[in-house]
């Protein structure tokens, strides 16, 4: 099941939610379209209606809201998060250098069996 939860964390902010509700009310009044908070690509739809609108109030509200939105669409700068903490970027894999002892192996016991592994 695919969820948009990480991308929707900004909706938990009370101030931003208030701005979203204002935009939704203005869009409903002008266009007769009711947007829901669970709609896919809510930000894109809000932006589309704000561009089409003749209302300065909707444009100002959307611009204020847009300044506080995370840039979820920019995957190049997206940070990797785990339990609210930013993960460090993994080091690039190092190239293996050919050495003289590359043919050496050792015997280990793995799950009750003898296995040959590189030394």
Which of 8-17, 57-66, 87-96, 107-116 bottoms out in mean pLDDT, i.e. has the lowest?
87-96
65 within domain boundaries: yes
What is the pTM assigned to this prediction? 0.55
Tell me whether residue 15 is in a domain: yes
Rg (CA), the chain: 26
- Are 45 and 39 contacting, i.e. CB atoms less than 8 angstroms apart? yes
The CA distance from 64 to 13, in Å, is: 14
* Total domains present in the chain: 1
- pLDDT tens digits along 25-77: 999 999 999 999 888 888 899 999 999 999 899 999 999 999 888 764 444 45
pLDDT in tens, 21-32: 999 999 999 999
Give domain status of residue 86, yes or no. no
């Amino acid at each position: 099941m695919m969820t948009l939860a990480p991308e929707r964390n900004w909706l938990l902010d009370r101030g931003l939610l208030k701005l979203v509700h204002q935009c939704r009310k203005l869009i409903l009044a002008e266009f007769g379209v009711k947007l829901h908070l669970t709609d896919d690509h809510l930000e894109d739809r809000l932006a589309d209606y704000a561009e089409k609108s003749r209302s300065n109030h909707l444009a100002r509200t959307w611009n204020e809201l847009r300044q506080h939105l995370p840039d979820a669409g920019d995957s190049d700068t997206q940070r990797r998060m785990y339990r609210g903490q930013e993960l460090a970027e993994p080091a690039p894999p190092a190239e293996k250098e050919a050495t003289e002892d590359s043919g050496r192996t050792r015997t280990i016991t793995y799950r009750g069996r003898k296995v040959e592994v590189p030394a």
